[in-house]
Amino acid sequence: MSKTFKLDGREIPFETGQTIMDAALAAGVYIPHLCHNPEFAPHGSCRVCVVDVGGRQVSACTAAASEGMEVDSSSEAIQATRRAILQMLFVEGNHVCPACEKSGACQLQAVAYYTGMLAPHFTHFFPRRPVDASHPDVVIDFNRCILCELCVRASRDHDGKRVFAISGRGLESHLVIDSASGLLGDSSFAASDKAAHVCPTGAILPKGRGYETPIGERLYDREPISIVGDVRAHEEEVL
């Protein structure tokens, strides 16, 4: 007999060792997330998947499911916390959606829509960050990086390359590239790398195309991410 826990009142079956996120996604229930990608080990850094378990807030992607636990993932309090976290991400970088090719198929944006975020609310940092267009096939716009480390993990754990790493600390934390010049074009990165296809925002984009899908027909134009799912599940359509 399989064990269950309650997610917003709904019984969710789970196997021992599964996280709340794993079990919820397997049951077809959406919990918003950015740094989580089922193909990689849970990370727990973005905190967008925060849920309430017995009055304690935990990240669904790292917290193990347990028998009989009651998880709140949809109350206004939880959504408000998520909104605040998203707003922090928006003011931390430079997210100029009207000027971004990923707009409409961007997970950061879609999760923001899902939580009802209308504005970044906080004071913008407006950091000065570079764009690295040195690679023939892929461009990196550091303005849009949210430090989810998916490219770091994909390059290390899947591509076996270790092209990316996070350097610095605190608000100075930033993505760095492993090459003598620090440029992507001088690294071993290739457009066919897994790392080229996991960015939840428009920070890592293929060159030579853009704005291919008309507004109104893009991934998240008509239905929310809770129905459509992650960008990664629609790789072929998007890229």
**What is the binding site for another protein (CB under 8 A)?**
42-48, 50, 57, 59, 62, 64, 81, 84-85, 88-92, 94-100, 103-104, 109, 112-113, 118-126, 128-129, 143, 146-147, 162, 164-173, 176-178, 180, 215, 221-224
Rank residues 48 and 203 by Cβ distance to another protein and give the closer one: 48
Q: How far is the CB of 164 from another protein (least distance, A)?
A: 8
Q: Nearer Cβ to another protein, position 1 or 118?
A: 118
Two structure tokens written together for 221: 């134009």
The residue among 1 and 15 lying less far from another protein, judged by its C-beta, is 15
CB of 104 to another protein, least distance (A): 7
Name the strand (E) or helix (H) holding 14: strand 10-14
Q: What residue type is 80 in one-letter code?
A: A
**Which CB, 11 or 76, lies closer to another protein?**
76
Residue 127: half-sphere exposure toward Cβ, Cα within 13 Å: 20
Write the Ramachandran bin of 146: left for phi over 0, alpha for psi from -120 to 50, otherwise beta.
alpha
- Can you tell me which residue has the tokens 């605040």? 84
In whole angstroms, how close is the CB of 80 to another protein at the nearest point?
Answer: 9
Element (H, E) at 226: helix 225-228
The whole-angstrom separation of Cα 43 and Cα 192 is 24
String of DSSP letters for 128-189: ---EE--SSSEEEEGGG-----HHHHIIIIISS---EEEES-GGG-EEEE-STTS-GGGSS-
All residues at 6 or more sequence positions from 18 whose CB lies less than 8 Å from its CB, including other chains = 26, 64, 65
Residue nearer to another protein on the CB measure, 1 or 108: 108
Q: Which residue's CB is nearer to another protein, number 47 or number 197?
A: 47
Q: Under 8 Å CB-to-CB from 206, ≥6 apart: which residues?
A: 137, 138, 139, 191, 196, 239
